[in-house]
A and B are shown apart, each in its own frame.
Chain A
Amino acid sequence: MESADDSQKLKITQEDFRQAETSGYCPQTHQINPMTLFAYSGDQQTDKFAHAFSAGAQAPTQQTFATESLLKQGARDQRLARLEKSAQSNSSDGSSLTKEIFNSVLPLSFEEQLKSDNQALPLREERSCSNSTLESSELNSMQMGNFNVLYQALSTEDQGILCNLNFNCFDQLGCRMLQQKICAGNDEKFGVQSNPFYNCLVQ
């Protein structure tokens, strides 16, 4: 009876491995979802998980994959073996698993190293983006300061027109009024550039 249970358990382990792979373990990123790991609590569940890892380690010998997938499988197996060790050493609460996952001091495999190198690019982009965001925010603040100076120089009527700009832009009379305002403040020498209303409108 026990041997039948064991054989059944061995059959189940293949499925468990697949489940662990699909739900908990992401082969693309070689990371394990900690939330899924926390769901495995108790000795029996941990044993299942350990069996799943061991079954996964034997999987490449049974099937033939492409070179890339073999590399991925190898790196995954190394990681799984380490996880299995840590799971065996402390199978009660899975704290070592979390240590394993979040420990950045552990030596990286070749593919993981490549992966980390590739992941460095977006960080650089993010950094450059943050710089550009800083510059743009500075520019925006300067423009806002300029706008405030120009806005305060306008009359109350002009300020009211600018406040209702969203309505006036799509209204026939509003558009005509805005055009008249632009033309009215034009200086003969400097043209529309000297018009405070136009400058404020453009800002």
Chain B
Amino acid sequence: MINQFGNYLCQKIIEGADANTLSIIISTISNQLVFISLNVHGTRAVQTLIEKLAHNVNSQTAETSQNERMLNHCNLVSVINALDSQIVDLTMNMHGNHVLQQFLMVFNCQGQEAPVG
């Protein structure tokens, strides 16, 4: 994700991933998510990941299975928990702040309650 070429491939994979695949990706990178977010190339991939997660959460309909709803919610909470410990560093960093801005942009008022809860 922090590679200058590989991050585009990661973004492509994330864009096409379903909830299960996203869960695997997040569990793999959750320990290094802050490090990736602070990177000039990694921040793009993390922003794409957040956008995808927000899309999954906001596009849930009545037909969406309970398992998938739970998985989307867990994915989102996992990302927030991973970033939560060093949120000040992210805010002050020239690349990391875009990740937080992405959170503010992609979630509407209803969606913003999920991270707090």
Contacts and interface: CB of A to CB of B under 8 A. Distances in A.
Interface in B1-40: 3, 5-6, 8-9, 12-13, 15-18, 21
Interface of A: 169-172, 174-176, 178-179, 182-183, 186, 191-193, 195, 198, 201-202
Contact of B6 (A170, A183, A202): A170
Most A-side CB within 10 Å, residue of B3, B8, B15, B16: B16
A193 B9 contact: no
Given A179-B12, A182-B12, A202 B5 contact: no
26 contacts: A169-B3, A169-B6, A169-B9, A170-B3, A170-B5, A171-B5, A172-B5, A174-B5, A175-B5, A176-B5, A178-B9, A179-B8, A179-B9, A179-B12, A182-B12, A183-B12, A186-B16, A191-B16, A192-B15, A192-B16, A193-B18, A195-B16, A198-B16, A201-B13, A202-B17, A202-B21
Interface of B: 3, 5-6, 8-9, 12-13, 15-18, 21
A195 B38 CA distance: 32
A175 B54 CA distance: 26
Q: Name B's interface SS.
A: helix
A191 to B, nearest CB: 7
Q: Name A's interface SS.
A: helix
Given A176-B5, A192-B16, A202-B21, 10 more contacts: A169-B3, A170-B5, A178-B9, A182-B12, A182-B16, A191-B16, A192-B15, A193-B18, A198-B16, A202-B17
A169 B8 CA distance: 10
A192 B13 CA distance: 9
Contacts of A202: 13, 17, 21
Contact of A175 (B8, B15, B16, B18): B8
A171 B13 CA distance: 16
A132 to B, nearest CB: 14
Contacts of A193: 16, 18
Nearest to A202: B21
Nearest to B5: A175
A182 to B, nearest CB: 5
